[in-house]
Structures are given as C-alpha cells and as structure tokens.
C-alpha cells in the first residue's frame, strides 16, 4: 500500500473506532504478526522476518465492525479477524498484510436465558472469564479448551474448537444456536436458529476461520454446573484395551466428562499416577526437557535428533497405559457413570489406580501447554497434531502416523475427545536438528508425513486446532468437490476476497 493509501485507511479507521483504537506502531504490528503456530516460531529462529499488518483496529461493537468492513471493502484492504491469537495453525498471520481486527472489545454478555439454556455473548469475550461469569450463576458452557485462559468465543467458533470435556458437552459446533456475523460484503447477518428446520446455516461459519466474515456474537447452549464429580485412573493392559473401554462406554450411552488414554510414552510423561513425577536415566532427561525443565539442552537435542532410535526405544516401554476418567453431573449420575466405566475397565483387565490420576489431571489440566518456550530455548521444537477417525481405524491410524512421522520426530500421543463413532488422537511431535533451517525442514517433513498418512487413512486431518496455513495444503483432497461450494459462498459473502485471504483453502485454484 502506498503511504497515501495507508494514511487514508488509518484516517477512515480512526473516524469509525476512534484514534485511540487504531495502531500502526511497530511494536503493535510485530505483536499482531503472529499467533502460536510453531512453524512461524521456527521461521523467526531461521532469521526470516514476519510479514507485518498495515494496521490494527479495536472496534467496540457490531456497528463499528460493519463500518470497518465496508471501509476495507472500498479500499480492497485484507482483514484478519483476531480473537486472542492462541491459534496454533497460523490463522491470524497477515500473509497479505492489511488490517488485523482485534475483537476483544466486543465482550458483552447480551442475553442469558437460563431457563432456555442459552446465552448470547459477543465474540471477543475471553473463555475463562465467561466460564467464571456462568459459574457465579450456577451454569457452565462445558467448553474447556486447554487455551481457555487465552482464547475467545469468536476464535472457538471460527476454528471449530473442542474443550477437554467434549465427550459430555460436545464440540463448539454442538453448542452454537445462532450467530451474528458481519460478512465480507459489509452486511450484518444473523444465522437462523439451529432448530429452524432444514439447513443448519451455522455450519457455514463454524470452522471458517474468518474467511467469510467476522463473527460478532454467538448464542450458545449452557448447562447447570455439575454438582458432583467422580475421578478415576486405570492402568489398562495396552492401547487397544484402553480404546475398547472408551468405545464401549460411549456406545453404551455413557457421557463421562473426560476419557483420556495415554500411549506408553505419554503415560511415562504424565506419570502412572498422573502427577508428572520424573523417573531416571535418558527418559528422565527427555521428560524434563519436554516439560521445559532441567538445565542445558545437549542431551535433549541428541535424543530428539535421533528420532528412529528414540521411537525404537519407546517401542520397548511396557505396554500398560494410563486411562483417566472424570464423570460428572448430579451425584447419582456421576457415581453411576463411574461405576459403569469401572465395569468396562475390569472386563479388559485394567487395574484400578484410585481417584489420584483423575484429580491430578484436573489440577494440572492447563499446565503442560505453557512449557514450550523452554524447549525452543534448548534448541529443539515441539508441536501437536490432532486428527480423528472412526473406532475401526483408530489403532491403525495411530500406528501409521507414528511410523511415518517417527522418521523425523519423536512421537507420543493420547486419545481423547471420544464420541460414539470414534475419537481423536492428539500427537505430540518433538524434534531437533543442528541449525534453525534444518529444524524447519525436519518440522515440515514430520507434518507432511502426518497429514499424508491421515488423509490416506480416510481420517479427519484436524479435530480442533483448525486449518489456518498449516493444513491448507491438504484441504483440497480432504474436501473434494466441496471446495467449489466454498468458492460460491465466498463469491456471495465476500465478493472482493478481503476476508482472511490465504487461509483454510488458500487461494482459488
Ligand atoms: C496452549 C494451547 C492449548 C490449546 N488447547 C486447545 C484445546 O484444548 N482445544 C482447542 O480447540 N484449541 C486449543 N488450542 C488452539 C486455540 O486456542 C484455538 O484454536 C482457539 O479456538 C483459538 O481462539 P482465539 O480466540 O485465540 O483465536 P485466534 O487465534 O485469534 O484466531 C483463530 C482463527 O479464527 C479466526 N477468528 C478469530 N476470531 C474470529 C471472529 N470473531 N470471527 C471470525 N474469525 C475469527 C482468526 O482469523 C483465525 O483464523 C490451544 C492453543 C494453545 C496455544
């Protein structure tokens, strides 16, 4: 953009949102040139400068968002909607520069209809604050992503998020009743209620990652807060036995809040009692390193630079795995669910570890996610890769991704977000290489292998982290002809292509 065009854009933005709510300062532009995608962190380490947005604006309400979108449409300025920037797929990176539209000032609760079990809340509302607000009223949304402290309602809807208790409350798409969206043509639109009959139009925007419009508010389902919880840990003989317990429980109609099965390496990381106590030897070094603890990094780098050896050693670990369960609801329901789970667990020969692992999980539920910078400081990288598939394919998909990605990185996984039809696998990839550029190559190779394998197995290439830039290469094959439907929607709702260009499907073919 020429200097004159930038000045005209900034003048226009200031007239809409007020001068205090527009910035073109270098610190703000640098801060808004990122989200938590590890690949862009590796770019920085390799010395590649980020692409900065032209400006950042903080609108106060839907009317201002609509005016900003109209201005950007008139000036052909790309818009990147921004919730809290906790996305891990590059969804908020301003690849075509333009305007980053931070929605955090849209944070009002517009309506609570507790009797109907719905709340309408604006898109920029922080997740944890919303849960606290509801808890004061004896309610819960039941949506607890690990990033709840640093993510927004709009980001959840846009990136198709899942909370830790999705087996009981569903993913965000199961919670949406209707949405208010400012589409790329500048119109303020409200989707028909999910129960309006016929199509569910919310589905057009859930997972659209800002490519069709800016979500400004969402009406979501709420539930009474659970009055009781039952915690349990099980040592299951192996992964297959744990998956059998999860499948049978969900298919029997149980709705535990948490069913979380760790593979042998992840079991070691968590500790068989779920409290992350460290053991000894190379695995101790690995564990400390991956938890961002310990000093130095030579040993960790060595282990992670030899992934075949590392993954081979993991194959020698004892097969028994940790399965954590949390059941909640009314006291009778929580107890009954826990008892029924126990019956399924005993049938596969699981050993009861008592309440400890479940309670430890709850106490540490948001901890591990904030340990990554320690790993990067040690000259290594880590990322997570979540996919989902039907029960008949879960074990094979797990083995295939471990095999394919394990040539490049150390791989561990847990199985969570269980549903009657299947579950998600949440892989953690960790790697190292002699320099930043080689690290990036290794990272790319692991992702490519993981995505190719998931696609080849007919699995969903994402479960809850969204697509952004990291998965867009595989969206075409994953969605086939539906890509053309997206283009049609785009032509109708964002005719000038200003909404978050380059994301999800990338550019038109
Ligand atoms: C430590 C950690 C743990 C995580 N754990 C989980 C987890 O358990 N479950 C889970 O689902 N995710 C998890 N994530 C990923 C991330 O938190 C989610 O994707 C979350 O939904 C993003 O919310 P946000 O408000 O930060 O969105 P952002 O990162 O700001 O944006 C994400 C995408 O949505 C678009 N967007 C944001 N707001 C709007 C809007 N109002 N209208 C239109 N488009 C919009 C953006 O343009 C971008 O494409 C985790 C991330 C981290 C860093």
- Residue 28 has what pLDDT? 98
Is the pLDDT confidence value at 324 over 90?
yes
Rounded to 5°, the CA angle 471-449-170 comes to 50
Residue nearest to atom 49 of ligand 1 (CA): 91
Q: What is the pLDDT of residues 407-440, one digit of tens each?
A: 999 999 999 999 999 999 999 999 999 999 999 9
Instruction: From 80, 81, 160, give the residue whose CB has the most ligand 1 atoms within 8 Å, as the site to mutate.
Output: 81
Q: Is the CB of 35 under 6 A from ligand 1?
A: yes
d(CA 208, CA 206) in angstroms, rounded, equals 6
Q: Is the CB of 157 under 6 A from ligand 1?
A: no
Residue nearest to atom 50 of ligand 1 (CA): 147
Distance 141 CA to ligand 1 centre (A): 17
Q: Is the CB of 92 under 6 A from ligand 1?
A: yes
- Residue 237 has what pLDDT? 98
Is the pLDDT confidence value at 276 over 80?
no
Distance 172 CA to ligand 1 centre (A): 12
- Residue 274 has what pLDDT? 58
Position 279 confidence tier, pLDDT thresholds 50, 70, 90: very low
Rounded to 5°, the CA angle 179-480-486 comes to 35
| Mean pLDDT confidence for 313-339 | 96
Distance 156 CA to ligand 1 centre (A): 5
Mean pLDDT for the chain? 94
Closest of 267, 297, 444 to residue 374, by C-alpha: 297
Q: Is the CB of 210 under 6 A from ligand 1?
A: yes
Using the atom order of ligand 1, give the atom closest to the CA of residue 87: 29
- Residue 291 has what pLDDT? 67
Instruction: From 80, 83, 143, give the residue whose CB has the most ligand 1 atoms within 8 Å, as the site to mutate.
Output: 83
What DSSP letter does each residue of 324-383 carry, written as one string? EEEEEESHHHHHHHHHHHHHHHHHTTPEEEESHHHHHHHHTTTTGGG-HHHHHHTTEEEE
Q: Which of residues 284 and 392 earns the better pLDDT score?
A: 392
Is the pLDDT confidence value at 285 over 90?
no
Which residues contact residue 243 at a Cβ distance below 8 angstroms, ignoring those fewer than 6 apart? 261, 391, 394, 395, 415, 423
Token couple for 427: 């892989």
- Residue 454 has what pLDDT? 98
Q: Is the CB of 53 under 6 A from ligand 1?
A: no
The ranges of the chain annotated as CATH 3.30.43.10 are 3-104
**CATH code reported for the domain at 228-456:** 3.40.462.40
- Residue 366 has what pLDDT? 87
Q: Is the CB of 212 under 6 A from ligand 1?
A: no
Q: What is the pLDDT of residues 65-103, one digit of tens each?
A: 999 999 999 999 999 999 999 999 999 999 999 999 999
Instruction: From 145, 214, 426, 506, give the residue whose CB has the most ligand 1 atoms within 8 Å, as the site to mutate.
Output: 145
Distance 76 CA to ligand 1 centre (A): 26
The answer to whether 24 touches 12, Cβ cutoff 8 Å, is no
Position 502 confidence tier, pLDDT thresholds 50, 70, 90: very high
Q: What are phi and psi of 28, to 5 degrees?
A: -65, -40
Q: At what angle do helices 62-75 and 3-17 cross, to 10 degrees?
A: 160
Q: Is the CB of 226 under 6 A from ligand 1?
A: no
Distance 220 CA to ligand 1 centre (A): 17
Distances (CA, A) of 105 to 31, 108, 124: 18, 8, 6
The answer to whether 87 touches 39, Cβ cutoff 8 Å, is no
| Mean pLDDT confidence for 263-270 | 92
Token couple for 496: 């000038």
Instruction: From 98, 122, 155, give the residue whose CB has the most ligand 1 atoms within 8 Å, as the site to mutate.
Output: 155
Token couple for 296: 């130095």
Q: Is the CB of 503 under 6 A from ligand 1?
A: yes
d(CA 54, CA 14) in angstroms, rounded, equals 14
- Residue 30 has what pLDDT? 97
Hunting for tokens 């993991």 — which residue is that?
A: 314
The ranges of the chain annotated as CATH 3.30.465.10 are 109-224
Using the atom order of ligand 1, give the atom closest to the CA of residue 171: 11
d(CA 439, CA 442) in angstroms, rounded, equals 5
Q: Is the CB of 177 under 6 A from ligand 1?
A: no
Is the pLDDT confidence value at 241 over 70?
yes
Distances (CA, A) of 409 to 111, 315, 397: 48, 14, 17
Distance 452 CA to ligand 1 centre (A): 24
Using the atom order of ligand 1, give the atom closest to the CA of residue 503: 49
Is domain 3-104 in CATH 3.30.43.10, yes or no? Answer: yes
Closest of 48, 3, 5 to residue 436, by C-alpha: 48
Q: What percent of the chain has pLDDT over 70?
A: 94
Is the pLDDT confidence value at 322 over 90?
yes
Using the atom order of ligand 1, give the atom closest to the CA of residue 210: 44
Using the atom order of ligand 1, give the atom closest to the CA of residue 372: 1
- Residue 278 has what pLDDT? 43
d(CA 290, CA 381) in angstroms, rounded, equals 9
- Residue 376 has what pLDDT? 85
Architecture of domain 109-224: 2-Layer Sandwich (3.30)
Hunting for tokens 């901890």 — which residue is that?
A: 367
């Amino acid at each position: 953009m020429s200097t004159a065009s930038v000045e005209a854009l900034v003048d226009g933005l200031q007239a809409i949102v007020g001068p205090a709510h527009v910035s073109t300062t270098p610190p703000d532009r640098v801060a808004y040139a990122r989200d938590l995608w590890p690949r862009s962190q590796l770019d920085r380490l390799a010395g590649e400068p980020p692409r900065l947005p032209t400006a950042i604006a903080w609108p106060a309400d839907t009317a201002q968002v609509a005016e900003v979108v109209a201005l950007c449409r008139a000036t052909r300025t790309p818009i990147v909607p921004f919730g809290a920037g906790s996305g891990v797929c590059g969804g908020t990176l301003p690849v075509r520069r333009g305007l980053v539209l931070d929605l955090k000032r849209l944070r009002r609760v517009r309506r609570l209809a507790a009797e109907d079990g719905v709340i309408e809340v604006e898109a920029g509302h922080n997740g944890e604050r919303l849960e606290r607000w509801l808890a004061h009223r004896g309610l819960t949304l039941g949506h607890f992503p690990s990033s709840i402290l640093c993510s927004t309602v709009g980001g959840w809807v846009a990136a198709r998020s899942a909370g830790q208790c999705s087996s009981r409350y569903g993913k965000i798409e199961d919670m949406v009743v209707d949405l208010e969206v400012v589409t790329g043509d500048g119109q303020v639109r409200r989707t028909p209620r999910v129960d309006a009959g016929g199509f569910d139009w919310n589905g057009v925007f859930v997972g659209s990652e800002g490519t069709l419009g800016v979500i400004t508010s969402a009406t979501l389902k709420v539930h009474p807060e659970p009055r009781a919880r039952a915690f349990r840990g099980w040592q299951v003989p192996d992964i297959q036995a744990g998956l059998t317990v999860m499948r049978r429980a969900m298919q029997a109609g149980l709705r535990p809040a948490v069913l979380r099965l760790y593979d042998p390496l992840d079991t070691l990381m968590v500790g068989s009692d779920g409290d992350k106590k460290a053991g000894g030897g190379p695995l101790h070094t690995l564990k400390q390193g991956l938890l961002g603890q310990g000093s130095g990094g030579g040993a960790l780098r060595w282990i992670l630079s030899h992934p075949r050896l590392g993954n081979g050693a993991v194959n020698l670990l004892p097969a028994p795995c940790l399965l954590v369960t949390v059941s909640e609801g009314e006291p009778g329901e929580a107890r009954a669910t826990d008892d029924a789970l126990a019956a399924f667990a005993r049938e596969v020969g699981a050993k009861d570890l008592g309440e400890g692992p479940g309670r430890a999980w709850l106490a540490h539920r948001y901890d591990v996610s904030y340990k990554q910078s320690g790993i990067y400081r040690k000259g290594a990288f880590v990322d997570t890769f979540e996919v989902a598939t039907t029960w008949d394919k879960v074990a094979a998909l797990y083995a295939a991704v471990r095999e394919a990605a394990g040539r490049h990185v150390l791989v561990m996984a847990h199985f969570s977000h269980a549903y009657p039809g299947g579950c998600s696998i949440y892989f953690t990839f960790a790697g190292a290489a002699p320099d930043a550029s080689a690290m990036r190559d290794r990272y790319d190779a692991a992702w490519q292998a993981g995505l190719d394998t998931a696609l080849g197995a007919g699995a969903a290439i994402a479960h809850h982290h969204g697509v952004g830039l990291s998965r867009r290469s595989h969206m075409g094959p994953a969605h086939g002809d539906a890509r053309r439907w997206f283009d049609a929607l785009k032509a109708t709702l964002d005719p000038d292509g200003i909404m978050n260009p380059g994301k999800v499907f990338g550019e038109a073919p």
